């Protein structure tokens, strides 16, 4: 299963929030059960936003697959969000996981074959529940 994680997901995963679904998603990636992908533009954003979390950046470098989208899109009104859709479409991702589904951001239910889901909804998917039994 291929997924693209919005930067907010990694930020939330780094914090000891009680009941942290984002940390469980990162764990699925760490365990090799979930294929997470990032483009160079996304990696750059991760490194700027998560500059205070070097271990998490190392995890991204170590476990995330790299893709090189060949097109620049502008299907999302908020320009920086397009980098994530470009990556998702380039790898034909199953899911784009985000908490930002507000208007002008990831406000469509899907981009191509890639479904936009929140962390909670993602963990409740039957395919993901099967993965969680292996954790």
Partner 1 sequence: MYATAIVGGKVVKFVLPPALAKAHQRNAGRTMTDQEAVDFVEAKRRRLALRRAKPYLEGRS
* Site residues, partner 1 (CB under 8 A): 7-8, 11-21, 23-24, 26-27, 30-31, 45, 48-49, 53, 55-56, 58-59, 80, 99-100, 102, 120, 123-124, 129, 132, 135
Asked if residue 78 lies in contact with residue 52, where contact means CB atoms within 8 angstroms, the answer is: no
The residue (of 44 and 92) whose beta carbon lies closer to partner 1 is 44
The residue (of 54 and 112) whose beta carbon lies closer to partner 1 is 54
Q: Which DSSP symbol is given to 99?
A: S
- β-bridge pairing 95-97 and 114-117: parallel
Q: Map residue 46 onto helix, strand or coil.
A: helix
How near is the Cβ of 92 to partner 1 at its closest, in Å? 25
Q: Map residue 28 onto helix, strand or coil.
A: helix
Q: Map residue 44 onto helix, strand or coil.
A: helix
How near is the Cβ of 116 to partner 1 at its closest, in Å? 14
């Amino acid at each position: 299963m291929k997924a693209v994680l919005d930067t907010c997901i990694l930020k939330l995963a780094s914090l000891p929030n009680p009941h942290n679904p984002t940390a469980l998603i990162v764990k699925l990636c760490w365990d090799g059960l979930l294929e997470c992908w990032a483009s160079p533009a996304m990696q750059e954003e991760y490194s700027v936003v998560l500059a205070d979390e070097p271990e998490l950046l190392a995890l991204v470098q170590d476990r995330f697959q790299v893709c090189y989208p060949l097109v620049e899109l502008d299907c999302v009104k908020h320009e920086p969000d397009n980098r994530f859709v470009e990556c998702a479409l380039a790898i034909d991702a199953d899911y784009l996981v985000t908490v930002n589904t507000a208007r002008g951001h990831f406000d469509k239910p899907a981009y191509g074959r890639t479904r936009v889901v929140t962390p909670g909804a993602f963990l409740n998917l039957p395919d993901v529940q099967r993965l969680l039994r292996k954790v």
